[in-house]
């Protein structure tokens, strides 16, 4: 049996911890990288751990050795000072892509965000929902970094033939927490299904897609994700009676539009 090695950046974070058991397979080694401490491998778990910064070219060169694919989740996951967003999310993503290119890693999945298009109006695309490839309308410096991540991914696909999937994640947590997430939630199991589809799709390609579940109150399109074989099994509506009453925001980015620019929260 030939083993596939997948490098996951940001593996100690919320999504990384949710994905670690879900992406485990007998024919796969997960190489987990984070600045923050990672849980040591459990008995029988096929993982390697790397403690270090994705902004460090030497760390990333070593982390990319013998890797078949990268899932890039690491970085700042909300608004922050411009200098930090620039260093970690923009320069950091460039460092990850450059290390991948130099090591000959053929495939990368980039965690983008709904905040790349946070200033797009809910409903502006009609009943089909906002398409995955709608052009950026970021709502924060953080959103700008995700639009830039998508642009860097496009460049590395075009120049070097790498397979690049950018996933505009809605809200991926154990359960939806509010009315907005009843539209934008992606269940952890669906997130793993979508990542598996990105890892398995034919190469080489470049695609931007929404990462959400098949929510009854959907406002974005699953077309691009379905085109690579994603089948959602979940719907935030199961939890509708558990979220506080509220209104769906007018814009995709919700409360991020009120976040002062450059202010960590
Ligand atoms: P998180 O903040 O819980 O995890 C991010 C991880 O990246 C942390 O463990 C942190 O230590 C690590 N990190 C930060 N700087 C680093 C560096 N220089 N080197 C190495 N590791 C570093 O965020 P979460 O929720 O796990 O999100 C993962 C990714 O998905 C992020 O890129 C985020 O922007 C994106 N995303 C997540 C959404 C969600 O609903 N969870 C929604 C949209 C996008
Ligand atoms: C994101 O991009 C964040 O990383 C996540 O923590 C949530 O705030 C999510 O968007 C959201 O919009 O719910």
Q: pLDDT tens digits, residue range 176-200?
A: 999 999 999 999 999 999 999 999 9
Is the pTM higher than 0.90? The answer reads yes
Question: Mean pLDDT over residues 123-142, rounded?
Answer: 95
Mutate which of 9, 75, 177 for ligand 1? The one with the most ligand atoms within 8 Å of its CB, which is 75
Measured distance CA(83)–CA(126) in Å, rounded: 37
Confidence grade of residue 1 (pLDDT, cut at 50, 70, 90): confident
The residues carrying an active-site annotation are 142
Measured distance CA(23)–CA(6) in Å, rounded: 9
Q: Which helix (H) or strand (E) holds 34?
A: strand 28-34
Residue in the block written with tokens 């959907």: 218
- In whole angstroms, how far apart are CA 94 and each of 83, 106, 145, 236? 15, 16, 11, 34
Measured distance CA(69)–CA(7) in Å, rounded: 6
CA of 79 to the centre of ligand 1 (A): 12
Question: Mean pLDDT over residues 141-166, rounded?
Answer: 98
Ligand 1 binding pocket includes 36 (Cβ within 6 Å)? yes
Is it the case that residue 142 has pLDDT exceeding 80? yes
- Closest ligand to Cα 111: 1
- DSSP-assigned beta bridge partners for residue 113: 169
Helices (runs of H) and strands (runs of E) counted in the chain: 8, 7
Domains delineated in the chain = 4-258 (3.40.50.720)
Measured distance CA(131)–CA(123) in Å, rounded: 11
For ligand 2, atom 2, the nearest C-alpha belongs to: 113
Confidence grade of residue 265 (pLDDT, cut at 50, 70, 90): confident
């Amino acid at each position: 049996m030939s083993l596939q090695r997948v490098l996951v950046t940001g593996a100690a974070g919320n999504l990384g911890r949710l994905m670690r058991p879900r992406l485990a397979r007998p024919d796969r080694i997960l190489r987990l990288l984070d600045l923050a401490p990672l849980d040591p491998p459990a008995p029988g778990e096929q993982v390697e751990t790397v403690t270090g910064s994705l902004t460090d070219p030497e760390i990333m060169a070593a982390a990319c050795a013998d890797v078949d694919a990268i899932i890039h989740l690491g970085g700042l996951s909300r608004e922050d000072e411009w200098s930090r967003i620039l260093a970690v999310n923009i320069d950091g993503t460039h460092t990850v892509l450059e290390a991948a290119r130099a090591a000959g890693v053929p495939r990368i999945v980039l965690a983008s965000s709904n905040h790349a298009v946070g200033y797009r109006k809910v409903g502006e695309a009609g009943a089909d929902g906002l398409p995955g490839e709608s052009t950026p309308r970021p709502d924060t410096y953080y959103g700008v970094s995700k639009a830039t991540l998508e642009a860097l991914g496009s460049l590395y696909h075009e120049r070097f033939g790498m397979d690049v999937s950018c996933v505009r994640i809605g809200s991926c947590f154990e359960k939806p927490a509010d009315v907005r997430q009843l539209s934008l939630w992606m269940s952890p199991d669906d997130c793993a299904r979508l990542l598996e589809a990105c890892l398995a799709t034919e190469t080489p390609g470049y695609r931007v897609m929404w990462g959400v579940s098949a929510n009854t109150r959907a406002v974005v399109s699953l077309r691009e994700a379905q085109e690579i074989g994603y089948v959602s099994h979940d719907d935030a509506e199961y939890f509708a009676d558990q979220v506080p009453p509220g209104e769906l925001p007018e814009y995709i980015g919700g409360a991020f539009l009120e976040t002062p620019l450059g202010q960590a929260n």
